[in-house]
Amino acid sequence: MPTATGTFYITLAASNNAGSAQCQLRLNVAAGPPVLSGLARRTVVAPGATATLAVTATSAAPPVSYRWYHSGVEVPSATQSSLVLSAITREQAGWYQVVATDSNGSRTSHPAFVLVAPTATDIQPFGQFPDDATDAIHGMRDIIQIACSYGRAVGLRRDGTVYGWGATYENGQAPIPAGLSDVVAVAGGGVRAVALRADGTVAVWSLVDPQTHTIPAPPPGLTNVVAIAARDGNCLALKADGTVALWGLTAATFQPPADLANVAAIALGRDHGLALRRDGTIAAWGANAFGQANVPANAVPARAIAAGEGVSFAIRTDGTLVPWGTGHDLRVDLVPSDLGPVRQIAVARTHATALLPGANARAWATPNLEWSLANTPRSECVWSVAAGGTYTYLLRDRGLFAAPVVITSPTDVVCAPGGQAAGGRLGQAQGRVRTARGIFVKAGSRAILGR
């Protein structure tokens, strides 16, 4: 096909034993909108660093103007071919698009995902685990997102691959699809796990025996996906055009409204769904036996949403957490009265966990549940929270860990053969203290000792 504009002539010829014939076609090629290239689909950056998104526009009718969008909302004053995100924060994570326009029209880029995550992380589990998963995650330092289901979890690694752990049907995590890479988000729910690739496609795999549990595939032609959610065998996908798609084991019983549009974020409960629109309003659909689909007036304007079993949450733009729905009598909607502003909320079957502005986490649980986050010594330095079933994972930023603190200063000591001497002690530090050293001295010698 021609790569330039103008009028082109194409000659078609045919022949056989009886003779030959030919005809000529005229093809008019008109100039179209700018052709875009060079925009990275996946960028991972540490908080406080700088991320740059840049696009090249080839135009037959310059000049070209640009408009950048973050999660479907226009970025103020972002009108150049590149977008520089300086001193980036977690709130600037998400997907971006640029619209390039010349006199021949406009063209929208593919979504570009920006992941903001610490350079090194630590995973702290708490709650009631069906299986001991601590060995599987010990030493993992590159997990940047966690998704949970019942007794199982998957983690997104910084390089775009996926790691899984927990109870399954064959002595370990169900096989992750071969070659799964370039992943930008993961979700888990009940009997399945879902991964979103940077090209806007999704991968779904079973967390139970596929011989006894059939996992419905994504709808045919599902592309341009920018966010995913999963729970109890169902999956919800958000597309870049602001529409959603729901599929799964029971999804046919609570399909989203046909006119749902302009969606910026999604959440999925056991049998209901939530959509946060770009204007901060919330749409809810599905089962409503516990009031989980009755969005209260004080839930908006919202900036984030979450859903569980018969319960829903919204985080208002001022950080206030608003619950609704009694949660199948488990009452995780009973938010502590002194909670204050929150940054993130993760909802499990028996409890909920909130990430607070100061990188600490706080959980509350079903009233008759015996454990709580108060019994977990490492609930600080938290970057994000993930919950499933009866447990929660805290993904912590190791860059915030403090060095061991000397509580008592070292002193000069004299020790006799076989005697003991202590010249100081260490205070508590985040993470595990791997080594603590002392010095052996000869009898009558003087040395600075510490342990």
The full 3-state SS of 198-215, as one line of letters, equals: CCCCEEEEECCCCCCCCC
- 127: tokens are 């709650």
Is residue 211 over pLDDT 70? no
Contact 342, 354 (CB under 8 A): yes
Query: Buried b vs exposed e over 315-331: b needs ≥16 C-beta within 10 Å?
Result: bbeeebbbbbbbbbebb
How far is the CA of 381 from the CAs of 107, 219, 359, 362, 399, in angstroms? Answer: 42, 40, 5, 12, 8
Kindly state the average pLDDT of the residues 42-54.
98
pLDDT band at 111 (very low <50, low <70, confident <90, very high): very high
- Flag the least confident range among 314-328, 360-374, 399-413: 399-413
Q: Average pLDDT of the chain?
A: 84
Nearest to 79 by CA among 66, 70, 89: 66
Identify the sign of the CA torsion 77, 80, 82, 86: negative
H/E stretch holding 100: strand 94-102
Say what the pLDDT of residue 2 is.
54
Is residue 416 over pLDDT 70? no
> Residue 422 is which amino acid?
A
- 53: tokens are 């998104």
Say what the pLDDT of residue 315 is.
98
CA distance linking residue 167 with residue 426, whole number of Å: 38
CA distance linking residue 180 with residue 190, whole number of Å: 21
CA distance linking residue 40 with residue 57, whole number of Å: 14
Contact 321, 345 (CB under 8 A): yes
pLDDT band at 331 (very low <50, low <70, confident <90, very high): confident
First to last CA, the chain: 76
pLDDT for 261-300, tens place per residue?
Answer: 999 999 999 999 999 999 999 999 999 999 999 999 999 9
Fold type of domain 118-400? Methylamine Dehydrogenase; Chain H (2.130.10)
* Count of residues in the chain: 451
Identical fold at 35-115 and 118-400? no
Phi, psi (rounded to 5 degrees) for 193:
-130, 150
CA distance linking residue 84 with residue 279, whole number of Å: 24
CA distance linking residue 147 with residue 391, whole number of Å: 12
| Residue for token pair 């103020």 | 76
Say what the pLDDT of residue 175 is.
73
Say what the pLDDT of residue 388 is.
83
Write down the domain spans for the chain: 35-115, 118-400, 404-451
CA distance linking residue 409 with residue 431, whole number of Å: 22
Say what the pLDDT of residue 206 is.
75
Beta bridge partners of 413: 447
Task: For the chain, state the CA radius of gyration.
Answer: 28
Say what the pLDDT of residue 207 is.
62
pLDDT for 338-348, tens place per residue?
Answer: 999 999 999 98
- Global pTM? 0.83
Fold type of domain 35-115? Immunoglobulin-like (2.60.40)
Q: Chain centroid to CA 109: how far? A: 22
Nearest to 360 by CA among 347, 346, 342: 342
pLDDT for 292-322, tens place per residue?
Answer: 999 999 999 999 999 999 999 999 999 999 9
